[in-house]
Amino acid sequence: MRHAVPAPAIFALLLAIGLGGCSIHQSIGKSTGAFLHPVSGPDFVHIANDHWDRQHHALIYFYRTHSQWAADEIEAPSVYVDGEHYFNIRNDSYTWLEVAPGTRHIIIRRPLLGLEGINDFDLSRIADAQLDVVAGRVYYLRYNELEPPDRSFPDLEADHPLASGQLQRVSRDFAMSEQELMTTQFLESDLLAPNHAAVSIVEANQDIDYERRREALEAAREAEIESLKAAGAYDEAPWYWPFGGGPTRPLESDRQLEALESHYAAILEEREQREEADGGSWWPF
């Protein structure tokens, strides 16, 4: 049975949108469900190995098996990776994303007229899981709100978010079994349900990984300074010269921050070189 969102929650969401300055989760114009727009893309097929960088990246297949619930949906759930909305997954469909190695944060939200939440408040959060991704591997994520897979992924702990619930990680063998991924059709992007899937999102992953790591190291630096102060290994600035003082020995967090900045600079330089190799700017001057 589907539950209606309380009117006060809707009012609070609309009020926050009007106030501005908030992070709004929404898929307005993208959330059309299968009842209004059944999936009609090509039948499932793995993408060719030369269409993604198997040496450095990973591939995630998302698929949703048929259910009457899904077939009757007016709006389909939204799929987010690392905080970015990429597509709304309709009944009997599949798509994929090429991702960077590391921890990818996957959230599925159910929209109401395209609106889904503000900041940490969601009207309905269906799934929230972190997937540790390794270069060269292919991952299969199965979504079904009524029927869980009849066998769980063998390498996941029982309490892992992807080991139970509506979104679960499954093995390749299970995904290829009868009435699973092979019965789905490709989730195309069109006017009624545009999406940004079936692409590489590696650069977006790299950017968010850099931001996360930098924030963590800056917090670690503050903690390291406090620890040095407690140990008497920090010279306070004199009252007449506020720019003096500091730790009496190099900070480990500073070393790691410098390494992070150097690594990210190399990533940006590689992107620039790749863009130039692909043709560079259209501006002839």
246, 234 in Cβ contact below 8 A? Answer: yes
**Least confident stretch, 191-200, 244-253, 274-283:** 274-283
Q: Is pLDDT of 250 > 80? A: yes
Residue 238 φ then ψ, to 5°: -65, 155
Q: What percent of the chain has pLDDT over 70?
A: 90
pLDDT at 278: 82
pLDDT grade for 238, boundaries at 50, 70 and 90: confident
Reported as a pLDDT band with limits 50, 70 and 90, residue 3 is: very low
pTM as predicted: 0.87
Q: Is 255 exposed, middle or buried (CB count within 10 Å of its CB: 0-12, 13-18, 19+)?
A: exposed
Q: What is the pLDDT of residue 82?
A: 97
